[in-house]
Structure 1
């Protein structure tokens, strides 16, 4: 059985759990990080020297970095989520990298202010700057999904998983947002999947 270390409140842990559930893989998840501790113990650091979550254990093989774990699980299962066509595969890879390097850094500050910062300590300017940086990226996603049903073509691939977790986090914030009809259609598909339970239906924390 796979073991996933990390608290479900982490967007990066949610990616891995969502992926495993979509693939129908049995796994054990162990809380780690923030108030749960664990990540600074010598044993954990020997497996993930970064001291972050998630960490995947597959027998004697360990892997960290959430998007790498998603890729690994999809390839391990021989799933259609890991495209065999090289152009489609790297299209999916591109969007996964974009999530990490563009969307997540833009959206993270507003999340941390709204959810992880006491109300009396919140900085409205940080929230406003995060919104200004993030909304054009969701508009970009909406325009992309106007041209095709899913991130890398006509069916779900590994690329859709990190984006779904970003949408879950952004739409869970107590703030207004523009209408993005194509993104909303795409996300409704996710919410209808039984595999999204326990991930995309959870409140932020």
Structure 2
């Protein structure tokens, strides 16, 4: 928008060099998030790190089904929804859960929102689950595979969620919700995405309008 016709190719080349020229807008690999703890002091979790982890997992899944490719995923580093998690087909917002004396970076899960242009805006439903951050890509894969395995012919993701029900989705994720006990074997789950130290919740003044 607002780019002179003669400059479009130059701008496109620049975007490609920055890694922003890939196709797939408004498709499942096009994960949207706010900066989270990368720059916002209201952030609870590294939503940008989670963004990249989910996108990597989705690419590994090699999703070719046209209906599945329409699923949109969003993540926010806190409940304020700068990442618009509340209007995604699958959305996450940052949280922290206790495990003994320590905290685990985690996410609440929303399902059934809709932010697709031209469609009616829909708010997602909050599931009664909280997932340690490092288990979220597993949760995404489970929900996608659940949809592919059990949907009716031509049934969109949100329609399947409405038919299958909230509890069915919660049950699919239940075993991922238990916080780990801290040990050398589980230490990675106490470290947020793209971080190198044990997670501690630290908050201050944010960069959103809240």
Higher strand share: 2
Larger Rg: 2
TM-score of the aligned structures, taking structure 2 as reference length: 0.27
Higher relative contact order (CA 8 A, sep 6+): 1
TM-score of the aligned structures, taking structure 1 as reference length: 0.27
Higher helix share: 1
